[in-house]
Structures are given as C-alpha cells and as structure tokens.
Amino acid sequence: MFIMKIEILGTGCAKCKALEKVAQEAVAKIGGFHEVKKVEDIVEIMKYNVISTPGLVIDGVVKSSGKLLSVDEVIALMQGETGTAEVKSSCGCGGKC
C-alpha cells in the first residue's frame, strides 16, 4: 500500500488551519493511511520556496500555495489528476507576491 505524505505549510492563520482540516477530510474520503502533517516552522516552510500560505505539499512536491482548496481539489491533487500543475495564489499576481 502506498502512503502519501501530505504537508500543510502555514504559521497558524485561519486558512492554514482550514486547509489542514480539508486535507484530513480528503484523506478520509479516499481512504488509506496517509500522513497529514502541519508545518508551522517558517524555516521549514521557506525550504519549499512558498511565499504565500497556506501551502499544500504532497510527497515533497508543492501542489498549491496561497489558496484554501476544497476537499475535491485536494483529492484531485492526491490522485494526480492535475499532474504537476500548481494552484497559485488567488490574488492575481501570478505567484509574484
């Protein structure tokens, strides 16, 4: 059985906490024993070059930053339906902020 490591990057804001809950719901929905870990250490977050939180990392690859995803969006990323395409910040800067 393949176990995914899912990391939620964020220092504790409401959206970061909400994304952690969404990720846990996504894991529960698809089943399996996947690890969901909250990363709040800013040094660890910076290692992923994430500027805008919350960030979603699956098996060491940043899949989303700066956006609160839905359960279905997280499931799609977990199942690889969007490939390696990242969901960038919703502020309109194209990830430049």
Whether 97 sits among the annotated catalytic residues: the reply is no
Whether 16 sits among the annotated catalytic residues: the reply is yes
CA angle 14, 82, 21 (to 5 degrees): 25
Choosing from 13, 91, 93, 97, which is the catalytic residue? 13
* DSSP for residue 50: -
Helix axes of 71-78 and 14-30: crossing angle, nearest 10 degrees: 60
Kindly list the catalytic residues: 13, 16
